[in-house]
Amino acid sequence: MISRNWIIATLLLACVPLVVSSLYVMHVLVTLLIWGFIYTGWSLMGRFGLVSFGHGAFMGIGAYVTTLLWNLQGISPWIGIPLGMLLAVAVAVLIGYPCFRFRITGHYFALVTLALTEVVRSIIIALRDTTGGSLGITPTSALKDGATWSLTALQCSDKRVFFYAALVIWLIGIWIWQRIDRSMMRHAMQAISQEEDAASSVGVNVTRAKLTITVISAAMTAFGGALYSQYQQYINPETVASLGVSLQMVFAVIAGGMFVKLGPTVGAVFTLLLTEGLRVGIGNQINSLDSTIYGLMLVLFIIYMPNGILGKLMERKRASRLQPA
Amino acid sequence: MEIFDIFLLETVLNGVLFGGVLALLALGLNLIFGVIDVVWICYAELMMIGMYTVFFLTKTFGWNLFAAFAAAIVVVSVLGVLLHVLVIRPVLDSEPINQLLVTGGMLTFMQAAATLAFGIEFRNIGVSMPSLVLGEISLPWSRISAALTALVAMVLLWLFLKKTYLGTAIRAISQDRGIMPLMGVSPARIYLTTSAIGGALAGLGACLLVLQYDVHPAIGLSFGPLTFMVCVLGGLGNMLGGFIAAFIFAQLISIGGFYFHIEWGYVMAFAFFIVMMFVRPQGILGGKS
């Protein structure tokens, strides 16, 4: 049942570019799918109580490694993206292993990962001669002499190409989520998030389970960061590697619902509609109104709706189903 | 002495003064964590509002600087109480991470609201203080007075906690929050008092910072992460530890900035924090818990 619905939904989504010609709508959809993928990556950890503020670091590593290798060494993103992911995974292990080994959880885990984001952001700014510092950096364009696409540079002026690429990647993200959701690891992680000592006493390898999840999550986020830089053709430390980005991920995932498969994507839809709605409705002059509302809503969501929009809806549905007719 | 060493000495002294300010910032956060068991991620944003209060009262309304300082302390203290009542109290019994996240939401909210209200310009109250010149070393008075004020505030807080009835109740509740209600102490009231004191300390920090730095909506981000790191490194809730950690951090930043570049100072400080978390997760002075 579910898989048939999924195929229909995917086909419908895939038809969108054939019907819609508006560049703006395409842009919103591509952005949505990229963030949906990143948020899904974050929620892999978040749903098991590993609240990380370090995903800004992973995203920044993915975006900057890819862009810098291309700009400085002319290394194609085909190689640059895996290298960026590899570096992000290495950093994730370097930070994650001791954290999990020494049982650093909750507040402390959040603060260690926050420090990680600050380290990466400060390094990017400190290396301003190569990274462009706070001003950001643009991948060197390979689209010269009227070329509309370049396979080696992974650049393309046609948004539809990015749409299909992002759609496939987003589906892979959802598939990873589902694989983990149906694996033994999910049970192990759930046990760990409830009571670590009890879980380890029944034979769960706590460090290994957490590390596996962290590595998958970091790799996805780094990949999303690289994709973001390829699509936007501009990155700076504030947009890909700051505490602000990390908080944005947390907010979107909490708004959508981190315990359900499509929750993070719903969060991406919700935040993007909010931002774009305000931009279209009020204009560009008041540029921090969206963040003001985000911040306030994050607070309200945590107080009144900790399972998120989709989580709440599904709860309702389940409750009404259980009610005798 | 070679000229090189004089500059290094000046750097170290400046680091000591910066450490004093960081210690004061960490003090309020530590108090709140120790008593209420909540980390105010938006602590530095409260401070930012205090800085704006001083700025507008002196520049727009022509208040006396010290009157503006007093007003800022009161304003931030009230904000601290409001934060506790409106945001922290509803999630006090839910998972600890939710408490961290609501204050994270407040961080985004306050920063964006300040941008909305005041714009992104950097504003300076335009009070310039001379420097203390000792031979070839010059130290700005604004930093010296900030560090001294921080020291006095810390001693006063310590006396308050040790010598007064309310202070004893606060310390007691931070040791065992389950048993205190049975002894006739109302935790709700203690939490309010603590939030007010924590807010007032953030307000005091704002007064000291506004003499040295320009105010802008994102200033909280330059001090916020540093302040939590100081608290955690010292052992959350452990005030003496926070004090020592503040000086270690300030030296790392100051000396790192002297030899390389100020960002490398920050990189060193944060990397040191991460390593220390693994070596002594309970903080440099924290006992085994």
Tell me, what's the pLDDT at A220?
Answer: 95
Whether residue B4 has pLDDT greater than 70: no
Could you identify the residue written with the tokens 């335009």?
Answer: B126
User: pLDDT for A174-198, tens place per residue?
Assistant: 999 989 988 888 888 888 888 888 8
- The tally of CA atoms less than 13 A away on the side-chain side of residue A264 is 26
Q: CA-CA distance, B20 to B205, in Å (whole number)?
A: 11
Whether residue A166 has pLDDT greater than 60: yes
Q: Does B225 touch chain A (CB under 8 A)?
A: yes
Q: CA-CA distance, A136 to A113, in Å (whole number)?
A: 23
- The values of phi and psi at residue A156, to 5°, are -160, 135
Cα distances (Å, whole numbers) of residue B224 to A57, A113, B220, B228: 18, 15, 5, 7
Tell me, what's the pLDDT at A65?
Answer: 94
Q: Do A119 and B274 touch (CB under 8 A)?
A: yes
User: pLDDT for B236-253, tens place per residue?
Assistant: 767 778 888 888 888 888
User: pLDDT for A115-125, tens place per residue?
Assistant: 899 889 988 98
Q: CA-CA distance, A41 to A202, in Å (whole number)?
A: 28
Tell me, what's the pLDDT at A1?
Answer: 46
Listed residue (A276, A164, A135) closest to A231, CA to CA? A164
- DSSP letter at B284 equals S
- Report the pLDDT averaged over residues B200-212: 89
Show residues of chain A in contact with B111, CB under 8 Å.
288, 291, 295
> What is the share, in percent, of chain B residues with pLDDT greater than 70?
95
**Domain positions in chain B:** 3-129+141-279
pLDDT band at B91 (very low <50, low <70, confident <90, very high): confident
Say how far residue B101 (Cα) sits from the centre of its chain.
19
CB-nearest partner of B112 from A118, A125, A292: A292
What single string gives the DSSP state of each residue in B30-88?
A: HHHHHHH----TTHHHHHHHHHHHHHHHHHTS---HHHHHHHHHHHHHHHHHHIIIIII
Give the β-pairing of A155-156 and B137-140: unpaired
Helix (H) or strand (E) holding A43: helix A23-46
> What is the share, in percent, of chain B residues with pLDDT greater than 90?
15
Q: What is the mean pLDDT of chain B?
A: 83
Q: CA-CA distance, A2 to B263, in Å (whole number)?
A: 51
Task: Give the nearest chain A residue to B235 (CA atoms).
Answer: A108
The alpha-helical segments, DSSP class H, found in chain B are 3-36, 43-59, 65-82, 96-118, 141-163, 165-175, 187-210, 219-234, 239-259, 262-279
Distance from CA of B4 to the nearest CA of A (A): 24
Task: Give the nearest chain A residue to B269 (CA atoms).
Answer: A119
Which fold is adopted by the domain A22-138+151-322? ABC transporter involved in vitamin B12 uptake, BtuC (1.10.3470)
Q: How many CB pairs below 8 A link A and B?
A: 138
- Report the pLDDT averaged over residues A99-113: 83
Dihedral (Cα; A262, A263, A265, A267), 10-degree rounding? 160
Give the β-pairing of A155-156 and A149-150: antiparallel
Whether residue A284 has pLDDT greater than 70: no
Tell me, what's the pLDDT at B2?
Answer: 52
User: pLDDT for A79-93, tens place per residue?
Assistant: 999 999 999 999 999
Q: Identify the top-confidence range among A6-10, B47-51, B91-95.
A: B47-51
Tell me, what's the pLDDT at A55?
Answer: 93
Least confident of A235-244, B26-35, B44-53, B229-238: B229-238
Q: CA-CA distance, B72 to B78, in Å (whole number)?
A: 10
Cα distances (Å, whole numbers) of residue B161 to A314, B165, B245: 49, 8, 21
Listed residue (B225, B226, B243) closest to B235, CA to CA? B243
- The values of phi and psi at residue B127, to 5°, are -95, 115
**Domain positions in chain A:** 22-138+151-322
Cα distances (Å, whole numbers) of residue B100 to A34, A149, B94, B110: 27, 45, 11, 15
Listed residue (B78, B51, B82) closest to B65, CA to CA? B51
Task: Determine contact, residues A232/A11, Cβ cutoff 8 Å.
Answer: no
- Report the pLDDT averaged over residues A195-217: 87
Tell me, what's the pLDDT at A287?
Answer: 67
- Report the pLDDT averaged over residues B42-69: 90
Cα distances (Å, whole numbers) of residue B225 to A25, A158, B73, B194: 37, 41, 22, 22
Tell me, what's the pLDDT at B289?
Answer: 41
Tell me, what's the pLDDT at A283?
Answer: 66
Listed residue (B275, B185, B286) closest to B244, CA to CA? B286
Sequence-distant (6+) residues with CB within 8 A of B207 are: B50, B54, B69, B72, B73
Q: Does B8 touch chain A (CB under 8 A)?
A: no
Best mutation target among B110, B120, B274 (most A Cβ atoms within 10 Å) is: B274
- DSSP letter at A323 equals S
pTM of the model: 0.85
Tell me, what's the pLDDT at A88?
Answer: 95
So what CATH class is B3-129+141-279?
mainly alpha
Whether residue B228 has pLDDT greater than 50: yes
Q: Do A295 and B270 touch (CB under 8 A)?
A: no
pLDDT band at B158 (very low <50, low <70, confident <90, very high): confident
Whether residue A2 has pLDDT greater than 70: no
Distance from CA of A8 to the nearest CA of B (A): 37
Task: Determine contact, residues A210/A100, Cβ cutoff 8 Å.
Answer: yes
Whether residue A323 has pLDDT greater than 70: no
User: pLDDT for A3-49, tens place per residue?
Assistant: 778 888 888 888 888 888 788 888 899 999 999 999 999 999 988 88
